[in-house]
Structure 1
Amino acid sequence: MTTAAKDEKLGAPKLDKPQLQAGGGTASVTSRHQITDALSPLLVQHLRQEYDVLVKKYQLGTKEGLSRWLTEEQQCSAQDAELLADGSFSHFANYFLSGAANVMKPAQPVDESYPLSNYFISSSHNTYLTGNQLSSESSVDAYKNVLLRGCRCVEIDVWDGEELSDSSSDEEAALGNPGASARKEGKSKSGLGIRKRLELKFGRRRASSEEKAKEKETTSAAQDSDKPIQPWRSTSSTMRAEPRVLHGYTLTKEMSFRAVCAAIRDYAFTVSSLPLIVSLEVHTCPEQQEIMVELMNEYWKGMLVDLPLDPSQTSEQASLPTLKDLENKILVKVKRASHAKPAKVEANLSTLQAPAEPLKHTTSAVSVASSATSSDEVPEGEKKPAPKPKVIEALSKLGVYFGSYHFKGLDAPESSIPTHVYSLSEKALMEVHETNPSGLFRHNKHFFMRAYPKGLRLNSSNLNPSVFWRAGVQIVALNWQRWDGGMMQNEAMFAGTPGWVLKPEGYRSTSQEANQKAAIPHHNLDLGIEFLAAQDIPLPPEEDDPKDFKPFIKVELHVEKHEERNAEPIPGNGKSQKGEYKKKTRTYRTTHPDFGREIVKFEGVQGVTEELTFVR
């Protein structure tokens, strides 16, 4: 397994000015990274050559000439002429020291007048992890990092809190209890593995048919009772056990759900006023779910959307509001409750503050088995492990505009609920794209869909997001702790924006276009990029001698394949992050390479859609 220590593209979140770290879009609006203090003699030489050409072509010594060059060639405001003053070479060089000469065109202001489903959203997957999917730390710093980089959809996997133990810290660590310094890997002192210890702790053993019937009867009676669910409390401490955040059935380290709520409260709207989506993966029992509701209401008071904007509507009936309607609001994405007779589980502060009662953990066994996959071995005659625990009504109600449903097909009844959202792995979504591309495209014009990396990406690698954006998927969740092609494309999509980007016109709910092929104009492209020189390229961590450093520039185009728009199987199922067209410059041995005006050319590139094609 690749470890964080050896993987140069994987690392813990940066805490020193994370907004300067590219990936989510905010780096492109940070002025400091667009400014340099001095130009190397090599760059000055190239700029002098360019200046001499422009003086003759545009007469830069005149106000009219400066304005014409700025508007025609630089495609920027004539107001920048003030930086060029009299048009002399010294002012011309100063212009390139400033952020005004940034090669990236400023992003247009976001039109916030459309319903929420008409936007692409900068989104994170397993936000709590700081490294790989099996053994890395969970940290609130990861939430701070992505929120300051422009992320507008974070994910929280929530599990039952452990009973506070009077035993040794080693045993606490082995069981994953709060307060333990670390979780033991592999087996505990008893020699039992994690899954076996969980079975013993929560009683998830092979039960007889009579025991199963009795358990079902007891659970049903508890849900039908008029008595509110009591918070799960420990008998060995005055402190109650509270929900935890971690990647289930792995060696990843945990943190408290309370701490995550606090971090989101503090950083949700630091760099963007547009709504933040909190995607909940709920693995907790009803008692712990009620604590989740209490904590979210406590920490996100005034920001949390807990009712439709039109109070006369239910979540199933409500239409999606416009982006403008939800500025500075937190939206919860959670599974919709499907109880035949919902339990009364509204938060009751007087109950939560009452003296602790004996520990009662009625349905933890269900949550223990919730992450088992269909490929798990099941003894003959036994049913597969139970699914995730049912979401209580109080928690489900918080999914006002993002009610999550299990995907059964685009023609399922819930597919017409305005506020529904489907979450599919990259593999499952590609299968839908192959079997019903027009249906998928039409669905995503009006309703939300979320794509996430498949579970086998253990090193936190990412899918190719542009394939899914071109299918109209709004929420393409990426592992922000990995700097790879997927995150580079995410930076390109959201560069300079507040994390929400309006879809191309043919992708919106107002369009009558029936499929991806017709939704947006396709062009042929001839592209040439000329490289002058570079200065002060930082050495990689493993290098200490500039003479051993051999930089070059690789250019890739990420363009829609003809299979994508013609309803054919996409090569590699969209997994590859590599561009369809690739070229590179010559290699040099220096941190100040002179590229000598080398031109990288792409000619006759077909299928280019300006809004959804990326140069990397």
Structure 2
Amino acid sequence: MATHNYKVFSCFNRKFTVTEPEPPPDVQKAFSEFSQGASSMSADHLLRFLAEHQGEVDCTVSDSEQILQQSRKEDGETGFDLHYFFHFLQDSDLNVPLKSQVHHDMNAPISHYFIYTGHNSYLTGNQLSSDCSDVPIIKALQRGVRVIELDLWPNSDKDDIDVVHGRTLTTPVSLLQCLKSIKEYAFVKSQYPLVITLEDHLTPDLQAKVAKMASQVFGELLYYPQTDSLTEFPSPESLKGRILISTKPPKEFLESSEKESADEVSSLRENANEQRTDNESAPEYKRLITIHAGKPKGEIQDELKAAGKVRRLSLSEQALEKASESYGADIVRFTHNNILRVYPKGTRLTSSNYKPHIGWTYGAQMVAFNMQGHGKSLWYMQGMFRSNGGCGYVKKPDFLIQKGPHDEVFDPKIALPVKQTLKVKVYLGKGWSLDFSPSDFDSYSPPDFYVKICIVGVPADMVKKKTSVISNNWFPVWNEEFDFPLTVPELALLRIEVREEDKHQKDDFGGQTCLPVSELKSGFRSVPLYDEKGDKYKSVKLLMRFQFR
């Protein structure tokens, strides 16, 4: 037991006792049931609890024994009393809310997966004046991002390549430095393939230089496609430990350049005409391209229906929303075999993000985000890719891959019947007294916490709920339960946010997490919370229960 003192008006102190809560009645009941009324829970008792209450049907006696050993390694005892059982349930290393291993089928074409995708991965801040660096690339790779975007431009002397956000005040970083950092960190978080998308504004001689540079830096890590006319993409499993390039083929260089400023295009045309820009231009560069990319050149419906080799199509968030109004079914059909990349609209100058479900509900594999941005949209992205062991590839639901018996495809705008109900109970929270100072939330008293619980997914499933406010307590106990009927649980995310009530200003932030509903483990779970940037707190967590019916 500890106390916190708060000074009020500089003349007297308010003293508050900090006391950790007792096990909730549900926990006490479960302990009594599975220990068969005994005062201690054996390995066999714990195994039965894990299988029947927690749904851990694959656990063995060896697993339960190991849990007992890890939980009681200090005193060497072999069983759980109620205290240690409660402590185990709050351990976010031993009692995790999500499956921690890769468990999706990884042998399908990569077009059958949502892929953790970055936008302008080299920017450290805003889109207009921030520095370009390999540091945000490294951070993204450490988080498990599997698609890195680089914008390539000629340097001031036109003899080398810079990575920079063109026609802005951003300062460049060298391509070579970026490639070296990518090689070093590409597979620190995930062994599944890394895709580098190139937005190149280069002449053929510099494209050839890029090809040589990439080949030398990546060596055998670089994947060379066997043909430039793929009818199906390879699988993540077959590409483990490999780096893929996705960009426009060289012959499309001048076509895409027509959207650039007149002066620059004139200069680039002169250089390109001297070095030829037909299909034989920069053959070394063309040979690197596994995922051929492009933006719509004509009517979007024509691009979506075009048959032939598989490819990647890029649309802005606005273009996708507009196209989905009239051609939603065509978009979904396109993403059965091809890759759709969605990127932020150009007015997001502060590196903010959009709602990723705009893309996911239509099967878009690469929903590109500004990873240096912050806010709820990025929390959704981080939550989705906690799926499948955090490997950066999440298998799309079957309804986004397959056609129905009458050639129909999934339509996110159609309200479907409830498929599953998620029951969420919030018991208690702890850790703020360790990760925050006594006055971080309130200068004169302990914090007043409450929990916001939301479902993010298809429109029919979106709902917000919250607990009551627990006043003046570092260890709040709520014991409140909520039901969430879900029509498309496969695309639903459970967003959890703790706030501290402030009656005079905006409520303070106390932690958040976002969890994919389809990956949730049932039973009592310790749910660690993250700060606004997505970094995990050392101690802050909630004890919750998840049930499905």
- Please tell me the residue identity of whatever aligns with 1:71: A
Counterpart of 2:454? 556
Asked if 1:501 is matched to 2:394, the reply is yes
Q: How does 1:392-403 map to 2 (within 5 A)?
A: 392-394=281-283, 396-398=285-287, 400-403=289-292
Asked if 1:120 is matched to 2:100, the reply is no
State which of 500, 525, 544 in structure 1 corresponds to 2:421. Answer: 525
CA distance in structure 2 between the aligned counterparts of 1:395 and 1:426, rounded to whole angstroms: 33
CA distance in structure 2 between the aligned counterparts of 1:371 and 1:540, rounded to whole angstroms: 53
Contact 2:332 2:363 in 1 (8 A): yes
TM-score (structure 2 length as normaliser): 0.72
CA distance in structure 2 between the aligned counterparts of 1:386 and 1:591, rounded to whole angstroms: 68
* Deviation, structure 1 residue 591: 7.1
Asked if 1:608 is matched to 2:487, the reply is yes
State which of 56, 61, 64 in structure 2 corresponds to 1:81. Answer: 64
Q: How does 1:230-245 map to 2 (within 5 A)?
A: 241-245=159-163
Greater relative contact order structure (CA < 8 Å, 6+ sep): 1
Q: How does 1:393-542 map to 2 (within 5 A)?
A: 393-394=282-283, 396-398=285-287, 400-407=289-296, 408=298, 409-412=300-303, 415-495=306-386, 496-508=389-401, 514-517=408-411, 523=419, 525=421, 527-536=423-432, 538-539=435-436
CA distance in structure 2 between the aligned counterparts of 1:526 and 1:307, rounded to whole angstroms: 44
Structure 1 residues 102 and 287: alpha-carbon distance in aligned structure 2, compared to 1, 3 A threshold: same
Counterpart of 1:57? 33
CA distance in structure 2 between the aligned counterparts of 1:121 and 1:304, rounded to whole angstroms: 19
Measured against aligned partners, the alpha-carbon deviations of 1:51-106 in whole angstroms (never above 9, x if no partner) come to 43223322353555432221122222354422244231243144233612122343
* Deviation, structure 1 residue 328: 1.1
- Please tell me the residue identity of whatever aligns with 1:138: C
Structure 1 residues 158 and 99: alpha-carbon distance in aligned structure 2, compared to 1, 3 A threshold: same
Query: What's the C-alpha RMSD, in Å, of the aligned pairs?
Result: 3.4
* Deviation, structure 1 residue 398: 4.1
CA distance in structure 2 between the aligned counterparts of 1:51 and 1:429, rounded to whole angstroms: 47
CA distance in structure 1 between the aligned counterparts of 2:293 and 2:231, rounded to whole angstroms: 15
Structure 1 residues 87 and 41: alpha-carbon distance in aligned structure 2, compared to 1, 3 A threshold: farther
CA distance in structure 1 between the aligned counterparts of 2:304 and 2:488, rounded to whole angstroms: 34
CA distance in structure 2 between the aligned counterparts of 1:401 and 1:521, rounded to whole angstroms: 40
Counterpart of 1:137? 131
CA distance in structure 2 between the aligned counterparts of 1:67 and 1:41, rounded to whole angstroms: 34
Q: Number of matched residues?
A: 442
Structure 1 residues 98 and 151: alpha-carbon distance in aligned structure 2, compared to 1, 3 A threshold: closer
- Please tell me the residue identity of whatever aligns with 2:476: D
Counterpart of 1:217? none
Structure 1 residues 530 and 78: alpha-carbon distance in aligned structure 2, compared to 1, 3 A threshold: farther
Counterpart of 1:259? 177
Contact 1:547 1:589 in 2 (8 A): no
- Please tell me the residue identity of whatever aligns with 1:553: V
* Deviation, structure 1 residue 242: 1.6
CA distance in structure 2 between the aligned counterparts of 1:517 and 1:387, rounded to whole angstroms: 46
* Deviation, structure 1 residue 122: 0.6
Structure 1 residues 266 and 532: alpha-carbon distance in aligned structure 2, compared to 1, 3 A threshold: same
Partner SS state of residue 416, structure 1: coil
Counterpart of 2:9? none
Partner SS state of residue 94, structure 2: helix
Q: How does 1:344-359 map to 2 (within 5 A)?
A: none
CA distance in structure 2 between the aligned counterparts of 1:146 and 1:560, rounded to whole angstroms: 27
Measured against aligned partners, the alpha-carbon deviations of 1:303-346 in whole angstroms (never above 9, x if no partner) come to 112332xxxxx31245322222211111111102337xx9xxxx
Structure 1 residues 385 and 581: alpha-carbon distance in aligned structure 2, compared to 1, 3 A threshold: farther
CA distance in structure 1 between the aligned counterparts of 2:50 and 2:376, rounded to whole angstroms: 32
Counterpart of 2:245? 332
Q: How does 1:189-200 map to 2 (within 5 A)?
A: none
Contact 1:129 1:137 in 2 (8 A): yes
Contact 1:156 1:281 in 2 (8 A): yes
* Deviation, structure 1 residue 299: 0.7
- Please tell me the residue identity of whatever aligns with 2:120: N
Partner SS state of residue 64, structure 2: helix
CA distance in structure 2 between the aligned counterparts of 1:276 and 1:398, rounded to whole angstroms: 17
* Deviation, structure 1 residue 162: 1.3
Partner SS state of residue 313, structure 2: strand
* Deviation, structure 1 residue 370: 5.1
- Please tell me the residue identity of whatever aligns with 1:89: L
Unmatched segments (≥5 aa) in structure 1 = 1-39, 164-231, 233-240, 309-313, 343-362, 373-381, 563-578
Contact 1:122 1:150 in 2 (8 A): yes
* Deviation, structure 1 residue 468: 1.2
CA distance in structure 2 between the aligned counterparts of 1:306 and 1:161, rounded to whole angstroms: 27
Q: Which 10-residue stretch deviates more, 476-485 or 583-592?
A: 583-592
Counterpart of 1:97? 91
* Deviation, structure 1 residue 609: 1.6
Measured against aligned partners, the alpha-carbon deviations of 1:458-511 in whole angstroms (never above 9, x if no partner) come to 111111112311110001011111232222122222112311111112222587
* Deviation, structure 1 residue 521: 8.0
CA distance in structure 2 between the aligned counterparts of 1:301 and 1:78, rounded to whole angstroms: 43
Counterpart of 1:305? 223
CA distance in structure 1 between the aligned counterparts of 2:212 and 2:260, rounded to whole angstroms: 25
Structure 1 residues 545 and 528: alpha-carbon distance in aligned structure 2, compared to 1, 3 A threshold: closer
TM-score (structure 1 length as normaliser): 0.65
CA distance in structure 2 between the aligned counterparts of 1:54 and 1:546, rounded to whole angstroms: 39
CA distance in structure 1 between the aligned counterparts of 2:409 and 2:216, rounded to whole angstroms: 44
What's the % identity of the aligned pairs?
A: 25
Contact 1:46 1:532 in 2 (8 A): no
Contact 1:130 1:481 in 2 (8 A): yes
Counterpart of 1:201? none
Contact 1:334 1:399 in 2 (8 A): no
- Please tell me the residue identity of whatever aligns with 1:46: E
